[in-house]
Structure 1
Amino acid sequence: CIVPVKEGQIKPWSRIYEFWDRRHRKIVLLDNNLLAAPNWRQTMEDLLAEELEVDFNQGLDIRLLNEENLNYLKRVKAKELRFAFDHIGNEKAVREGIELLLANGLGSRKLSFYFLYGFPVIQQECVERLKILASYNVEVYPMAYKGPDGKEPRRRILKGIEDIPLLHGPRGNIDKFLRLVGRLPP
């Protein structure tokens, strides 16, 4: 993921009151990692106090999920909770996080995962990450890796992806991904 390179270190940001238009009951947070920010509790408290529906647009770090922040995530109004699964090295944290969320009443259809593909990685790792996410029946949001040059990956056939029965997620992104990996015609 190039976000940390482009956006730098996590730092405190403004409270919602500095940018929230009170005529609206929904707010989109464009932070790149709320759970890693020093003021995440204050942000959650503000969202709960104002009873706002929130879209954690850039995603939450599932590796930081614990009982405390899970308690907030269960209470805050959000149609979906977005996370990422970009490296197989995070498999244990992703599995534990999903299982913790499911065990606490957050359904799999409320969980969405950004899925980075096309960066220099063993193809089998990409397939394995997809299979893991599909096994939990969560939404998958494929995102093509764009390196510092801004170019997207070239079409490649991924072996093993054909036995993944169904991917849930935004149709346009899924179709683009399936074309890139050879599951749909170009």
Structure 2
Amino acid sequence: MSADTASELALRRLSALPHPMLWVLAARLKTLSLSLVPVATGTWAAAMLLSRWSLGVMLAAMGAAALIQIGTNLWNDAADGVAGADGAARLGPARMTGLGLLDAGKVRLGATLAFAGAALLGLWLSLVGGPRIIGVGMVSLALGYAYSMGPRPLSHTPAGELLVVAFFGIVAVAGTVFLHAQATGAA
């Protein structure tokens, strides 16, 4: 089977999926461990180091982290789709905008809604952790946007991968421990 035939077959299979499933694929929910594991690790570290943790903090931090990642994934899908970088011949998981299965404007709106949900959770977390949490949240949201958008997307530079490690690793774990300490009075 030629590559063109395989691509056409994959496109036909995707086209037959229910519309909500296309959004699930665009959001790349299978990759959410990237954002959820660091929050779980920070919660575990707080439980071990502080002998206490907050269920509310854990759930809000997981929600915010997951929504930032989903927003970033959707921005990436839309941006690369519009740029023509994610067509049928792309290696790896299919991208919905690039294949013409989802409208780029609607995918950007979905990304904006995901970022807005993360911001709302971040506001609640800032009540627990103070203004530093607002700063970390704003930088996280800006990086989520800049990863795929703007004149020089971070995803096209080595700095992009370093920022992913920093924010989905160090900042997420340390920030989660900090929030648990603040929430439980262990700080």
> Which of the pair has more CA radius of gyration?
2
**Which range, TM-score by smaller chain?**
under 0.3
If the length of structure 2 is used for normalisation, what is the TM-score?
0.24
Relative contact order, higher structure (CA 8 A, sep 6+): 2
If the length of structure 1 is used for normalisation, what is the TM-score?
0.24
